[in-house]
Amino acid sequence: MTSDRPEAASKVVAAIGRSLPPNPRLSDLVDALGEKAGGILLAIVAVPAIIPVPGVPLGAVFGTVLVILAYRMVGTGGRPWLPQWLGQVRLGAPVIVLLSRRGPVLLRHVEHRLRPRAGLLVANPITPALAAVMALMGTLIALPIPFGNTLPGLAVILMGLGLAARDGLAVLGALILAAVAAGVSIALGWAAVAGVIYLLV
């Protein structure tokens, strides 16, 4: 008997290096993942946003991608879509190595705990609200807030995998984590601004 459960995100990420052409663009990554479940795509895109690579502004790039995907894919249920200018962004070899080697380990920590439950929290009427939350998390990731990527990125990963597995409790946990992430990001941003003002005065 076949199952309609989406392929595990960790397996998708582990194989991504073999699915991309040499010197791939961001649109190539979306195309390689576009037939996967929407929640899995969001989780995968969040992985490089929270693992730092020196000299590569992954937070700004993938945070922007998350904002767009959250509204276009989760909010409408349509195929992932990127503006042409964003799709042309090149992904360097360090990004692909990071995604295919470290991403699966991170995702496996979450996905083996998931199962269908609390279906009310993953029902279609609530998806616009979930999309707005993930878009907010993408915005926080994209902003240059010191140490501000991790909690929003983890919230997106948990919510994306929860949606893919139809696990309402995981989505609830992601919403709580998102609220904490927003509070921490505001505090970090305020601390950074206050520090700059202190140095200038």
Give tens-digit pLDDT for 10-32.
777 777 777 788 888 878 877 77
With respect to residue 179, please indicate whether it lies within any of the assigned structural domains.
yes
With respect to residue 15, please indicate whether it lies within any of the assigned structural domains.
yes
**Side-chain-side CA neighbours of residue 115 (13 Å):** 1
Which range of 71-80, 88-97, 107-116 scores highest in mean pLDDT? It is 107-116
Give tens-digit pLDDT for 147-172.
778 899 999 989 888 887 888 999 99
Percent residues over pLDDT 90 in the chain: 13
Q: Strand, helix or coil at 63?
A: helix
Helices (H) and strands (E) in the chain, counts: 11, 0
Is residue 46 a contact partner of residue 69, using CB atoms and an 8 Å limit? no
Q: What is the largest CA-CA distance in the chain?
A: 70
Average pLDDT, the chain: 79
Q: Domain limits at 125?
A: 9-200
Predicted model pTM: 0.77
Give the Cα separation of 20 and 30 in Å (integer). Answer: 10
List, in order, residues 6 or more apart from 127 with CB less than 8 Å away: 74, 75, 77
Does the pLDDT value for residue 100 go beyond 80?
A: no
With respect to residue 4, please indicate whether it lies within any of the assigned structural domains.
no
With respect to residue 13, please indicate whether it lies within any of the assigned structural domains.
yes
With respect to residue 1, please indicate whether it lies within any of the assigned structural domains.
no
Higher pLDDT, 19 or 134: 134
Give tens-digit pLDDT for 73-89.
655 554 556 678 777 87
Which range of 9-18, 57-66, 157-166, 175-184 scores highest in mean pLDDT? It is 175-184
With respect to residue 87, please indicate whether it lies within any of the assigned structural domains.
yes
Output the pLDDT for position 74.
55
Structural domain tally of the chain? Answer: 1
With respect to residue 66, please indicate whether it lies within any of the assigned structural domains.
yes
Higher pLDDT, 141 or 3: 141
With respect to residue 142, please indicate whether it lies within any of the assigned structural domains.
yes
Cα–Cα distances (Å) from 174 to 30, 180, 199, in that order, read 23, 10, 37
Give tens-digit pLDDT for 29-45.
777 765 555 677 788 78
Among 152, 130, 160, 178, smallest CA distance to 38 is for 160
Phi, psi dihedrals of residue 117, rounded to the nearest 5°: -170, 165
Q: How distant is the alpha carbon of residue 42 from its chain centre? A: 4
